[in-house]
């Protein structure tokens, strides 16, 4: 682990500006980078913590604020925010985050990955389908989003981490993802934690499962190292 620092970051997107949370190594030089996509709650402390953890592994991590300042801990409000999110505008915001990372002096512009959780898991896979600069995608229990026929656009590998007891992201959908990736010849690993439920990685959630979350973290670290450092 390396020493890190963090800050709010403003970047160009949607013909204007967007904001996000940037965590990065203190040490100089260029580093691979990872876009970290929020759950349906918004850009909260949990997502900032994940960005910090990724930065401590030697990456520049940027979590764009796709709700533009809105954050909630109430499921009903989170659902409303998620439903109001326009997918095309979210893609533009995420593309803006990628471009902002590529423009930085401390980032290896050809080494950009993405990870996300719940809503962000679906958006992470979508970003990989839409932006060829993204060469590693690691969706955690990503909700269905976009056209899986577009996985053939993915440049690089995919690590999908899912929950066997998930009532939102079903086993049938996970198999659709696996089949689409295999059919397109995309390098991938799909792992399902049989006894885990949706949000098992979120240590602020009642669904948190420490053992499965720990295993998923190790898989994520190995995947990012292989795809962005190998």
| Enzyme catalytic residues | 118, 166, 198
Neighbours of 23 (CB within 10 A): 25
CA atoms of 51 and 53, how far apart (whole Å): 5
CA atoms of 210 and 218, how far apart (whole Å): 12
β-pair partners for 39? 42
Q: Give residue for tokens 């670290």.
A: 221
Strands 16-25 and 60-64: antiparallel
CA atoms of 230 and 212, how far apart (whole Å): 25
CA atoms of 8 and 20, how far apart (whole Å): 6
Q: Who contacts 83 (Cβ-Cβ below 8 Å, separation ≥6)?
A: none
φ/ψ of 11, rounded to 5, equals -145, 165
């Amino acid at each position: 682990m390396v020493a890190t620092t963090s800050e709010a970051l403003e970047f160009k997107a949607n013909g204007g500006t967007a904001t996000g949370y940037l965590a990065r190594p203190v040490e100089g030089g260029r580093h691979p980078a990872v876009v970290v996509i929020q759950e349906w709650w918004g850009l909260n402390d949990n997502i900032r913590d994940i960005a910090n953890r990724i930065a401590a592994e030697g990456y520049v991590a940027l979590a764009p604020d796709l709700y533009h300042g809105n954050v909630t801990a109430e499921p009903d409000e989170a659902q409303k925010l998620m439903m109001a999110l326009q997918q095309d505008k979210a893609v533009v915001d995420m593309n803006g985050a990628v471009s902002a990372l590529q423009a930085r002096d401390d980032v290896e512009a050809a080494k950009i990955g993405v990870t996300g959780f719940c809503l962000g898991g679906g958006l992470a896979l979508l970003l990989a389908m839409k932006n060829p600069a993204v060469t590693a995608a690691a969706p955690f229990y990503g909700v269905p989003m976009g056209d899986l026929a577009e996985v053939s656009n993915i440049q690089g590998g995919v690590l999908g981490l899912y929950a066997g007891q998930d009532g939102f992201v079903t086993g049938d959908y996970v198999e659709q993802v696996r089949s689409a990736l295999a059919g397109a010849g995309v390098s991938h690993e799909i792992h399902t934690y049989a006894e885990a439920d949706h949000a098992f990685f979120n240590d602020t959630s009642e669904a948190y499962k420490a053992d499965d979350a720990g295993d998923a973290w190790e898989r994520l670290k190995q995947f990012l190292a292989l795809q962005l450092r190998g």
